[in-house]
Amino acid sequence: MYSWGDDMSDWANPGAYQYDAKQKDARAKEAERARQSGPRTYVNRDAPDYRYVDPKRSVRSDSENPLIVAVDVTGSMARWPFEIFDRLPLLFNTLAQYRQDLEVAFVAIGDARVFDHPLQASDFCRGFDLESRLNAIFPEGQRKGSVDHPESYGLLPYWLKTRVEVPRAKRPFLIVFGDITMHPTHTPGEIAKVFGDQVAGDVAVEPLWREVAETWDTWFLRSPRCVMPKETDEQWASAIGAQKIVHIDDEPRAVDYAMGLVARSWGHFDDFRQNMRARQDAAKVDVLAKQIEKQTAAG
């Protein structure tokens, strides 16, 4: 739906918003790369392309503004991961005009007790290069589903603690889209399977999350499909803080919420509000904007 360039012909109000003119040539270059590449192949993959999403490797960003977008790709999330990934050009083009050194990494989260590939994690990159990272993800949950409620969200903070370096970032953003509780521990076998590491005993995930949340501005955006809302909120509150849990009521607006959190923190919320008004109904924009303002005031 969204272009890597400045084409807004399919927006609700074309012409009501313009991206920063200083980066127009860069967006045009990325749009041409997208045109030559053809359509995204995310839904057709049969296995991860570990050239791009191997969780065993170390990754580094020298940007002052790295961003990690992590998505639960288990069966209960239904089409939500695809809707999130479909908005990649919108997310990058919008936020990159606020901080031109923005770099993004993607993480796909599954269940280590069910999946063959329970964590797929990319390096940091920019622009159309991000498409190759999304195309590398295998949507295993759409094929295999999941047999229990908890998922392996705890693999994410382990990866961050052991594989990720962001030496110039002061408080980068980590946005997690999910719908359920997490396994409270990961066994040595699970850690070895995913990362190749040898650990002496079970790894408790909540302490890992609390460490990560001290460095990363961490948010959990909870799907309206959540079947255990009380238990989910309680566990995530213990891990990252109750004020960092967002209840998403309208799934297609979830990426807007994530972008709004970042834009408000970076001092560009008024511009982002205009961006939303060009794409959707003004009443929805006002509701979403008020929710973000309230949430960030609390957080």
How confident is the prediction along the chain (299 residues), in pLDDT tens digits per residue? 588 999 999 899 988 999 999 999 999 999 999 999 887 666 667 899 999 999 999 999 999 999 999 999 987 777 778 888 889 899 999 999 999 999 999 999 999 999 999 999 999 999 999 999 998 999 887 665 555 579 999 999 999 999 999 999 999 999 999 999 999 999 999 999 999 999 999 999 999 999 999 999 999 999 988 889 999 999 999 999 999 999 998 888 999 999 999 999 999 999 999 999 999 999 999 999 999 999 888 76
Is residue 96 classed exposed, middle or buried when 0-12, 13-18 and 19+ CB atoms within 10 A define those classes?
A: buried
For residues 52 and 41, the answer to whether their CB atoms sit within 8 Å is no
Q: What contacts 136, CB < 8 A, 6 or more positions away? A: 45, 48, 49, 50, 51, 52, 53, 120, 122
Report CA torsion sign: 143, 144, 150, 152. negative
- Distance from C-alpha of 96 to C-alpha of 103, rounded to nearest angstrom: 8
In a domain, 135, yes or no: yes
In a domain, 27, yes or no: yes
Cα-based torsion angle of the residue sequence 132, 136, 137, 139 in order, rounded to the nearest 10 degrees: 110
Confidence (pLDDT) at 81: 84
CA distances 155 to 56, 107, 112, 126, 171, Å, are 12, 10, 9, 24, 21
Which domain does 198 fall in, by range? 21-252
- Letter for the amino acid at 227? V
Query: Would you tell me how many other CB atoms lie within 10 Å of the CB of residue 279?
Result: 20
Confidence (pLDDT) at 147: 53
In a domain, 121, yes or no: yes
Q: Which helix (H) or strand (E) holds 203?
A: strand 203-204
Confidence (pLDDT) at 252: 86
Question: Residue 159: what are its φ and ψ, rounded to 5°?
Answer: -60, -45
CATH number of the domain bearing residue 33: 3.40.50.410
In a domain, 292, yes or no: no
Confidence (pLDDT) at 83: 85
Confidence (pLDDT) at 72: 92
- Distance from C-alpha of 131 to C-alpha of 254, rounded to nearest angstrom: 20
Report CA torsion sign: 215, 221, 226, 229. positive
In a domain, 287, yes or no: no
DSSP 228: -
In a domain, 1, yes or no: no
Overall domain count for the chain = 1
CA distances 95 to 100, 198, 272, Å, are 8, 38, 9
In a domain, 285, yes or no: no
| Axis crossing angle, helix 269-277 with helix 254-265, rounded to the nearest 10 | 150
Model pTM score = 0.95
Confidence (pLDDT) at 23: 93
User: Per-residue pLDDT tens for 121-178?
Assistant: 999 999 999 999 998 999 887 665 555 579 999 999 999 999 999 999 999 999 999 9
Query: Would you tell me how many other CB atoms lie within 10 Å of the CB of residue 281?
Result: 12
User: Per-residue pLDDT tens for 82-104?
Assistant: 888 889 899 999 999 999 999 99
- Letter for the amino acid at 150? P
In a domain, 235, yes or no: yes
